[in-house]
């Protein structure tokens, strides 16, 4: 591709997010009035042979094609479709002399929006385009029988995607610039698979190679043999088996035939085709003009005034009657008021936490934790059944293991001090990991790989410390003894609930453990391993912890000090969230189910954790509204800053495979509408008034902190604060009252995007 096209592509993307109006834009307020309302600009039906031999037939205004028309270039290229003031705009079909075709949306001369390209060799792409390049969600069928389904950027596979070879092998995972990069899974047709990190199209870093018989090799992968290290684990069916398999075979043998088929190159882009001599006097066909008779009906007449029987409904080239409604007077006014909306400022997210390296006060604790997890998950055990006996949930069902420094029959030697390790209800948590589709090898790699854990900068309000795995998939939280008792008490009901409702929003727990240090301190550290809601390819720009109460529910930070990692609260919330109807209905059902479960278990003080990724961010860190309305409620305008808005990864394009890409609360396309609170009373307004400013977002949400029961301390807190403050405004209330208040609040800020 030429540098000129690449520069034009990037420049237009920058311009599409700006607020400054361009006089040259064909969609300014003046041009809308001129085209749609000023009848002095007559629409003509013409057939022209242009000076260089190009041919045009269709609708014409002044010196340009405008409306429906067909243009045939002398080199054999042809466009049939919609025009606006000489530019291909709307839906159309472009064909090349080679036989290649593109059919779909055009903007300002570019293939832009949804469209299908079929190459001369049979290469077929169907999906989203931006400035002639594949961008967003799309599928590609290759001439050799390979297939790709996923995300694109600047014409290359980029983001999450699945590539399937003709022989049945497939890769599912992350891409960058057209090659495997990030976390991904390669599955061969013989049942073998590799799960792990990739770089420049090859395994690099932590990963697991698994054979079809269940045995696997866990380690650090590199094409350089000196950097390769790992451990072989036999299958449960043959625990005594061993292997002399060379890990380098993954590169030289297993991946030898897994090549990515290149996409067919476009010979010349539609935006590079120019119109010749439009509006000249060299026409050799009669020029028809549209006029209006006394009844107001449009009629066609020739230059000499003779009336034609040709009407707007005749033939294949008709006037675009739908375009007027797309640029109504109300929308023209909304365009002119667009610049009055405030742009959000978004800072670049930073990686959370401090890496626990040697010398850190919790370095030995991290080593103990990793050794314990590797022992618990890696030891041979029968395949867990999801139908558990009641004895598996007994709080006394725990396993102690001693880890001496020099090692033992069941434990490896280690550089840390001697410690003891406890697994609570190991059979239950093994079944939970299976239920949540967590692969044991991946689980070990995330927590116990060569990469260290990260400690979050400050403990939570409860005094607990939080740790993140390097890949952000899991969060580890230290727990008090009372929390462990509550968890073990509710574990049977929790297991039954998450097994019954796979879309549950409550936190997913994967393990409950304890480390007991030997020596004089005899210190016990209890911790739970849970899923990280914000582990995603999307950067989280805003996060909220929402309870539905007002007392103490603000961060008291000015906008300039709010970071993407700042957890905002109820009175900081300035949005309502609009979900697609089907998702909204399932959301309401699941919130009711989860709240019923927590109420029955006498749990309170839980929160809805919400994370937002704003899709239309600029390089300057600003976000402009993408949907606006003058009458309360978001409606698409199709126009931004006086011109058509370039398409991105639209919400409906993300949902190609909801079971894999999107689930309730994860990677969900939605819209956030800005709200403003009224300060007319002493009582703070919990939910503000909608303003009509909407932003395209990817939203994440889940119910967290579900291990606080309504014990004597919470009852005393409620009684004490009720003397000083409004009892309904405080967080510590009876579980039934808490559940009702929580639901009422959540169903006010999450609404159906009608």
Q: Which of 400-404, 455-459, 551-555 has the highest mean pLDDT?
A: 400-404
pLDDT band at 477 (very low <50, low <70, confident <90, very high): very high
Domain ranges of the chain: 44-235, 354-532, 536-617+660-753
User: What is the pLDDT averaged over residues 518-529?
Assistant: 82
Q: Which has more confidence, 365 or 274?
A: 365
376, pLDDT greater than 50: yes
Give residue 722's pLDDT. Answer: 52
Question: Quick one: what percent of the chain has pLDDT higher than 70?
Answer: 74
* 653 pLDDT more than 60: no
Domain 44-235 in this protein, CATH class: mainly beta
pLDDT of residue 726: 56
Q: Is the pLDDT of residue 153 over 80?
A: yes
Q: Which CATH architecture has domain 536-617+660-753?
A: 2-Layer Sandwich (3.30)
Burial environment of residue 409 by CB neighbours within 10 A (0 to 12, 13 to 18, 19 or more): exposed
Per residue in 14-47, pLDDT (tens digit) is 444 443 333 333 333 333 333 344 434 677 888 8
The phi-psi region of residue 435 (left if phi > 0; otherwise alpha if psi is between -120 and 50; otherwise beta) is alpha
From CA 680, how far away is CA 47, in angstroms rounded? 66
Quote the pLDDT of residue 720. 52
Positive or negative, the CA dihedral 230, 177, 175, 543 is: positive
Which CATH code, of 3.30.800.10, 3.40.50.300, 3.40.50.2300, 3.30.413.10, is assigned to 354-532? 3.30.800.10
Asked whether residue 111 carries a pLDDT value surpassing 70, the answer given is: yes
Contact assessment for residue 474 and residue 531, using Cβ atoms and an 8 Å cutoff = yes
pLDDT given at position 700:
96
Give 602-617 pLDDT, tens digit per residue: 998 899 999 999 987 7
Across 350-364, 570-584, 708-722, the highest mean pLDDT is recorded for 570-584
* Between 288 and 445, residue with greater pLDDT: 445
Higher pLDDT, 78 or 725: 78
What is the average pLDDT across 646-666?
A: 50
Rounded Cα gap, residues 221 and 198, in angstroms = 9
> If you search the block for the tokens 């309504």, which residue do you land on?
710
Residues 319-351: tens digit of each pLDDT: 233 323 233 333 333 333 333 455 677 888 888
User: Mean pLDDT over residues 546-575, rounded?
Assistant: 84
Q: Output the average pLDDT for the chain.
A: 76
Q: Name the pLDDT band for 523 (thresholds 50, 70, 90).
A: confident
**Residue 449: pLDDT above 90?**
no
Entry field: residues in the chain: 754
pLDDT tens, position by position, 278-325: 544 434 333 334 444 444 444 444 333 333 333 333 333 332 333 232
> Is the torsion defined by CA of 536, 203, 176, 455 positive or negative?
positive
Asked if 327 and 32 count as a contact pair (C-beta separation under 8 A), the reply is yes
Q: Tell me how crowded residue 200 is: count the other CB atoms within 10 A of its CB.
A: 11
501 in helix, strand or coil? coil
Angle at the Cα of 708 from the Cα atoms of 702 and 713, rounded to 5 degrees: 150
């Amino acid at each position: 591709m030429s540098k000129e096209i690449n520069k034009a592509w990037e420049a237009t993307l920058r311009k599409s997010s700006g607020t400054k109006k361009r006089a040259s834009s064909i969609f300014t307020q003046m041009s809308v009035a001129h085209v749609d309302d000023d009848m002095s600009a007559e629409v003509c039906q013409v057939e022209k042979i242009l000076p260089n031999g190009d041919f045009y037939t269709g609708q014409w205004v002044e010196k340009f094609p405008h409306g429906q028309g067909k243009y045939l270039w002398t080199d054999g290229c042809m466009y049939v479709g919609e025009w606006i003031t000489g530019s291909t705009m709307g839906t159309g079909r472009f064909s090349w002399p080679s036989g290649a075709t593109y059919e779909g949306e055009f903007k300002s001369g570019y293939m832009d929006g949804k469209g299908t390209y079929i190459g001369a060799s049979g290469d077929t792409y169907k999906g989203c385009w931006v400035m002639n390049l594949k961008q967003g969600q799309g599928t590609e069928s290759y001439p050799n029988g390979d297939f790709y389904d996923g995300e694109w950027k600047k014409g290359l596979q980029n983001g999450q995607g699945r590539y399937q070879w003709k022989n049945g092998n497939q890769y599912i995972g992350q891409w960058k610039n057209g090659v495997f990069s990030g976390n991904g899974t390669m599955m061969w047709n013989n049942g073998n698979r590799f799960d792990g990190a990739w770089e420049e199209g090859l395994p690099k870093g932590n990963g697991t190679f698994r054979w079809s018989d269940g045995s696997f090799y866990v380690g650090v992968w590199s094409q350089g043999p000196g950097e390769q290290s790992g451990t072989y684990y036999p299958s449960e069916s043959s625990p005594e088996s061993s292997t002399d398999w060379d890990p380098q075979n993954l590169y030289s043998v297993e991946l030898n035939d897994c090549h990515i088929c290149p996409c067919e190159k476009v010979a010349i882009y539609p935006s590079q085709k120019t119109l010749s001599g439009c509006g000249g006097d060299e026409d050799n066909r009669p020029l028809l003009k549209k006029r209006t008779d006394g009844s107001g009906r449009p009629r066609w007449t020739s230059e000499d005034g003779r009336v034609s029987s040709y009407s707007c409904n005749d033939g294949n080239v008709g006037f675009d009657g739908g375009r007027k409604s797309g640029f109504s007077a109300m929308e023209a006014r909304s365009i002119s008021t667009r610049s009055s909306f405030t742009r959000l400022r978004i800072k670049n997210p930073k990686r959370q936490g401090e890496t626990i390296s040697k010398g850190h006060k919790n370095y030995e604790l991290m080593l103990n934790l990793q050794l314990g997890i590797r022992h618990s998950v890696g030891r041979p055990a029968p395949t867990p059944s999801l139908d558990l006996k009641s004895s598996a949930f007994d709080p006394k069902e725990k396993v102690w293991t001693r880890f001496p420094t020099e090692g033992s029959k069941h434990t490896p030697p280690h550089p840390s001090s001697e410690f003891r390790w406890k697994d609570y209800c190991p059979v239950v948590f093994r079944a939970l990991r299976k239920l949540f589709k967590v692969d044991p090898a991946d689980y070990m790699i995330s927590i116990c790989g060569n990469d260290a854990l990260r400690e979050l900068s400050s403990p939570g309000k409860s005094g607990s410390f939080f740790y993140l795995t390097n890949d952000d998939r899991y969060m580890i939280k230290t727990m008090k003894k009372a929390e462990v008792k509550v968890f073990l008490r509710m574990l049977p009901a929790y297991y039954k609930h998450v097994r019954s409702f796979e879309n549950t929003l409550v936190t997913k727990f994967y393990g409950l453990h304890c480390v007991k240090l030997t020596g004089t301190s005899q210190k016990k550290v209890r911790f739970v391993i849970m899923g990280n809601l914000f582990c995603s390819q999307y950067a989280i720009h805003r996060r909220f912890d929402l309870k539905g109460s007002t007392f103490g529910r603000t961060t008291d930070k000015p906008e300039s000090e709010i970071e993407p990692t700042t957890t905002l609260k109820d009175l900081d919330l300035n949005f309502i969230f609009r979900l697609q109807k089907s998702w909204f209905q399932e959301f309401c059902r699941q919130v009711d189910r989860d709240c019923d479960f927590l109420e029955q278990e006498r749990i309170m003080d839980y929160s809805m954790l919400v994370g937002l990724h704003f899709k239309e961010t600029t390089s300057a860190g600003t976000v402009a509204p993408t949907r606006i309305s003058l009458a309360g409620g978001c409606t698409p305008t199709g126009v931004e800053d006086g011109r058509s808005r370039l398409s991105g990864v639209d919400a409906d394009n993300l949902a190609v495979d909801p079971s894999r890409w999107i689930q309730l609360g994860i990677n969900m396309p939605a819209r956030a509408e800005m709200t403003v609170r009224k300060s007319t009373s002493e009582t703070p307004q919990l939910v503000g008034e909608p303003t009509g400013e909407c932003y395209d977002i990817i939203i994440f949400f889940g119910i967290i902190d579900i291990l606080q029961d309504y014990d004597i301390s919470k009852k005393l807190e409620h009684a004490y604060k009720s003397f000083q403050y409004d009892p309904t405004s405080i967080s510590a209330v009876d579980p039934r009252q808490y559940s009702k208040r929580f639901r009422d609040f959540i169903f006010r800020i999450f609404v159906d995007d009608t």
